Amino acid sequence: MLELQLKRSLKKLKYYLKAIRVNHWTKNLLVFAAPIFSFQIDSAIWIESFKALFCFCLISSSIYLINDCLDVSSDRNHPIKKLRPISAGKISITEAILLAIFLAVLGLSISFQANIFLFYTLISYIAIQIGYCIKLKQYPLIDLFCISSGFLLRAIAGGITSKLTISPWFLLTIGLLALFLALEKRKAELRIFSEGKNNSRKVLKRYSLPLLLRIESLVSTSSFVTYALWAAGPSLNGAKTSWMLITVPFVLVGIFRYQLLTDPSEVNRRQSISKCYTGENPEEILIHDKGIQLTLLGWLLTTFIIGITTIVKI
């Protein structure tokens, strides 16, 4: 009897972990961007950044739960989202709401004690995301800015907690790359919608592939240019050293690779191998695509070497 109860508890825990989307916590690593690109080795800065990471993990999971509760009916019409614990009936809406409240209160309490500005940043994040979940996701273009704002606030939180001055080019790059990812997500959803497999997102009726491609062209070009301006170094109020220009090709290759992976013909090719592939989620691509992984690894190693060299010179 005890063994059976234990199995049920572990199964329930598995559903809870899936509902709070632990695999999406990789987005919150953006809080480390400011200390990494400032080449900081002060342990106090990294401790504060880890606090910000933990708070964002709690708050973002709370928002995911609220979103799934609000969209439970429409998610059941989606080929992938219908498998989520709440829409599949594995977790009740009451349980999800209580868990969301607990995570939000815990995250805000920790942030309030750690850094009052981090607390305000999280409040802003919650306000925007709840507004998105309730109404804003129904408005074209506004929905894209709501999604990208979450990434931008994460980067800002990293700078606030580490008390570092953030380059405006750096913030523009983060914001534009986040907007790029949001566009790629909408492109994938639009493809599924056009195939009649997804009626869960009403805003897709206001989008067309040509429109998204035109916006994507502008955003991807702008994000690359702003990154190059940041990498140019102190002379342009950018990175600590102009040696960061060496990393520019990795960013360009990463953008091109991501566009390839979300192209409809490539998605169809990959779906013939794995039906679970949609090209809709950045986490899915990051975890499964070796090309993106190698590009990211090359960028990280190059940045690390430049950082070490810069620190030694200082």
User: What is the reported pTM?
Assistant: 0.86
Token pair in block for residue 17: 């972990």
CB 20: neighbour CB atoms within 10 A?
24
CA distance 224 to 167: 16
Q: Count of H helices and E strands in the chain?
A: 13, 0
pLDDT digits (tens, 9 = 90+) for 11-33: 788 888 899 998 888 889 989 88
Extended strands (E) in the chain: none
Per the CB < 8 A criterion, the answer to whether 18 and 85 are in contact is: yes
What is the model's pLDDT at position 204?
85
What is the model's pLDDT at position 197?
60
Q: Which CATH architecture has domain 21-36+43-166?
A: Orthogonal Bundle (1.10)
pLDDT digits (tens, 9 = 90+) for 191-213: 877 766 655 677 888 888 899 99
What is the model's pLDDT at position 261?
86
pLDDT category, 240, cuts 50, 70, 90?
A: confident
Entry field: residues in the chain: 314
CA distance 241 to 314: 11
Tell me what the pLDDT averaged over the chain comes to: 86
Residue with tokens 């809080």: 31
Question: Torsions phi, psi of 249, nearest 5?
Answer: -60, -35
pLDDT category, 262, cuts 50, 70, 90?
A: confident
pLDDT digits (tens, 9 = 90+) for 38-85: 777 778 888 888 999 999 999 999 999 999 998 888 778 777 778 888
